[in-house]
Amino acid sequence: MTSVSSLIIVVSIGLIGLFLLIKAVPSLRADTVNFLTSPQFSTTDARHLAFGIRDLLVVTVLSSMMALLLAMPVALGIALFLTFYAPRQLSRPFAYIIDLLAAVPSIVYGLWGIAVLGPALLPVAEWLNTRLGWFPLFADGNVSIAGGGTIFTAGVVLAIMILPIITAVTREVFVQTPRTHIEGALALGATKWEMLRTTVLPFGRSGYIAASMLGLGRALGETVAVLIILRAASTPAKGSLFDGGYTFASKIASAAAEFSEPLPTGAYIAAGLVLFVLTLVVNALARAVAHGKVRAR
């Protein structure tokens, strides 16, 4: 009976991929534009489907990458703080506070992001845009910066959302650093920072990278927060942080109410399949990097 349960889990993963593929193929055949390179996503006319994932891919990758770049150093700092700096009695309550970040539902992050954080970040966004606008990442996007519904805002919110998972997994690996290495470094007269640099960081590096990739996987698949924050844009993304538009996940969720006809629905399922494969690859890479040192949570 217990092995049957195991089998259920194993089989269900295979089924997810299989069913998404089965449902996506007819729509992919009916697609009139190139699925991989077309920026448009129009499914209103079932007999003339025209959907491509280029725009979704650009927005998804930009927002997730930004989140990752923001979250990685902070998460490393928090993990070090919790394992080596915080007073022993306080380290558990502090860790609990960080875990609370993960308990906040994503829809609340979305609300807060667009209503509070977006306006608060406006001066930063405008400064980046006027001073560094020559750099493509900070150039004018396809939605107004003043609205706050940009990849920039979404990226910051995503960064906050993936902080707890990166921190937790990194912390788990740092704790495993052999006691003898740490004491050896300290006995040789290393300062605390030198001890961390010479023992903990080399030991935990692969785990930290794996943790970051798990975080990236979360950011790629995050749905509702992004859906609420990003403003729809009439033109394709230009590759700027001040673009709006849809990620894979938010595109699917935005159209969820209209899933009635099989062919247009299949178009979104195809997008979902791409997202599934994307997160699968990222997660598998994370595990390959970590050599079994970390496990998902």
Partner 1 sequence: MTTIETTAPSPAAPAPALRSIGTARRVKNWLATVLVTLAFCVAVVPLAWLLTTVLTRGYRAILRANWWQKSLKGVLPEQFAGGVYHAIYGTLVQGLVCAVIAVPIGVLTAIYLVEYGERGRLARVTTFMVDILSGVPSIVAALFVFAVWISTFGFSQSALAVSLALVLLMLPVIVRSSEEMLRLVPDELREASYALGVPKWKTIVRIVLPTALSGMVTGVMLALARVMGETAPVLVLVGYSRSINYDILDGNMASIPLLIYTELTNPEEAGVQRVWGAALTLIIVIMFFNLLATIISRLSAVQSR
Report which DSSP code applies to 107: H
Site for partner 1 contains 222 (CB under 8 A):
yes
Given its phi and psi angles, is residue 189 left (phi above 0), alpha (psi -120 to 50 degrees) or beta? left
Residue count at the site for partner 1 (CB under 8 A)? 87
Question: In this chain, which stretch among 51-59, 121-129, 233-241, 258-266 interacts with partner 1, using CB under 8 A?
Answer: 258-266
Site for partner 1 contains 187 (CB under 8 A):
no
Rounded alpha-carbon distances, angstroms, from residue 30 to 18, 43, 168, 271: 19, 11, 45, 15
| Binder of partner 1 out of 172, 265, 267, 289 (CB under 8 A) | 265
Segment 101 to 120, residues that bind partner 1, using CB under 8 A: 101, 103-109, 111-112, 115-117
Site for partner 1 contains 132 (CB under 8 A):
no
Shortest gap between Cβ of 133 and partner 1 (angstroms)? 27
Question: In this chain, which stretch among 26-34, 179-187, 217-225, 229-237 interacts with partner 1, using CB under 8 A?
Answer: 217-225
Residue 126 CB partners (closer than 8 Å, separation 6+): 145, 146
Site for partner 1 contains 12 (CB under 8 A):
yes
Contact between residue 152 and residue 241 where contact means Cβ atoms under 8 Å apart: yes
Rounded to whole angstroms, the Cα distance separating 187 from 182 reads 9
Site for partner 1 contains 262 (CB under 8 A):
yes
Tell me if residue 247 falls in helix, strand or coil: coil
Shortest gap between Cβ of 287 and partner 1 (angstroms)? 6
| Binder of partner 1 out of 19, 40, 69, 205 (CB under 8 A) | 19
Of 180, 203, 190, 162, the residue nearest 80 (C-alpha): 203
Of 170, 178, 172, the residue nearest 195 (C-alpha): 178
Rounded to whole angstroms, the Cα distance separating 33 from 11 reads 34
| Binder of partner 1 out of 124, 126, 193, 205 (CB under 8 A) | 193
Site for partner 1 contains 192 (CB under 8 A):
yes
Segment 43 to 72, residues that bind partner 1, using CB under 8 A: none
Which pair of tokens denotes residue 152?
């920039």
Segment 278 to 297, residues that bind partner 1, using CB under 8 A: 279-280, 282-284, 287, 295-297
Site for partner 1 contains 169 (CB under 8 A):
no
